[in-house]
Amino acid sequence: MEFEYMTIKQASTLWGISRRRIQVLCAEGRVSGVNKLGNTWAIPKHASKPIDARIKSGKYIKDKESI
Protein backbone atom coordinates (compact mmCIF):
# COMPACT_ATOMS: atom_id res chain seq x y z
CA MET A 1 0.00 0.00 0.00
CA GLU A 2 1.46 3.35 -1.05
CA PHE A 3 0.74 6.46 0.96
CA GLU A 4 0.26 9.80 -0.73
CA TYR A 5 1.44 12.93 1.02
CA MET A 6 1.22 16.65 0.44
CA THR A 7 3.61 19.42 1.39
CA ILE A 8 2.90 22.28 3.77
CA LYS A 9 2.56 24.59 0.78
CA GLN A 10 -0.08 22.33 -0.79
CA ALA A 11 -1.95 22.01 2.53
CA SER A 12 -1.84 25.81 2.91
CA THR A 13 -3.54 26.28 -0.44
CA LEU A 14 -6.08 23.51 0.22
CA TRP A 15 -6.99 24.55 3.77
CA GLY A 16 -6.70 28.33 3.31
CA ILE A 17 -4.33 28.96 6.24
CA SER A 18 -0.71 30.08 6.43
CA ARG A 19 2.25 27.73 6.07
CA ARG A 20 3.55 28.75 9.49
CA ARG A 21 0.22 27.87 11.13
CA ILE A 22 0.34 24.42 9.52
CA GLN A 23 3.88 23.91 10.84
CA VAL A 24 2.63 24.71 14.34
CA LEU A 25 -0.34 22.36 13.99
CA CYS A 26 1.98 19.55 12.82
CA ALA A 27 4.42 20.17 15.69
CA GLU A 28 1.54 20.08 18.20
CA GLY A 29 0.36 16.75 16.76
CA ARG A 30 -3.02 18.16 15.72
CA VAL A 31 -2.82 16.87 12.12
CA SER A 32 -3.63 13.16 11.97
CA GLY A 33 -1.07 10.87 10.36
CA VAL A 34 1.62 13.52 9.90
CA ASN A 35 5.28 12.42 9.72
CA LYS A 36 8.44 14.49 9.91
CA LEU A 37 11.07 13.48 7.36
CA GLY A 38 14.22 15.41 8.19
CA ASN A 39 13.14 19.06 8.17
CA THR A 40 10.01 18.44 6.10
CA TRP A 41 6.51 17.56 7.25
CA ALA A 42 4.72 14.89 5.24
CA ILE A 43 0.96 15.43 5.55
CA PRO A 44 -1.35 12.65 4.31
CA LYS A 45 -3.52 13.81 1.40
CA HIS A 46 -6.62 12.49 3.18
CA ALA A 47 -5.91 14.54 6.36
CA SER A 48 -8.57 17.07 7.23
CA LYS A 49 -8.00 20.61 8.45
CA PRO A 50 -7.83 20.68 12.28
CA ILE A 51 -10.34 22.77 14.18
CA ASP A 52 -8.96 26.14 15.29
CA ALA A 53 -8.78 25.95 19.10
CA ARG A 54 -7.30 29.43 19.60
CA ILE A 55 -9.29 32.07 21.50
CA LYS A 56 -11.11 34.11 18.87
CA SER A 57 -11.71 37.29 20.90
CA GLY A 58 -8.02 38.07 21.32
CA LYS A 59 -8.48 38.27 25.09
CA TYR A 60 -7.51 35.57 27.52
CA ILE A 61 -10.23 34.43 29.85
CA LYS A 62 -9.17 34.35 33.49
CA ASP A 63 -11.09 33.26 36.51
CA LYS A 64 -11.71 36.27 38.81
CA GLU A 65 -10.71 34.21 41.85
CA SER A 66 -7.22 33.50 40.45
CA ILE A 67 -6.33 37.22 40.23
> Domain containing 38: what range?
1-49
User: Cβ contacts of residue 54 below 8 Å, gap of 6+?
Assistant: none
- Determine the pLDDT at residue 65: 56
| pLDDT, tens digit, 9 for 90 and up, residues 6-62 | 999 999 999 999 999 999 999 999 999 999 999 999 999 999 999 887 777 766 666
Strand ordering across the sheet containing 35-37: 5-6, 40-44, 35-37
| 42 within a domain of the structure (yes/no) | yes
| 29 within a domain of the structure (yes/no) | yes
β-pairing verdict for 5-6 and 40-44: antiparallel
Q: Is 20 helix (H, G, I), strand (E, B) or coil?
A: helix
What are the φ and ψ backbone dihedral angles of 29, each rounded to 5 degrees?
Answer: 75, 25
Number of domains in the chain: 1
| 36 within a domain of the structure (yes/no) | yes
pTM of the complete model: 0.74
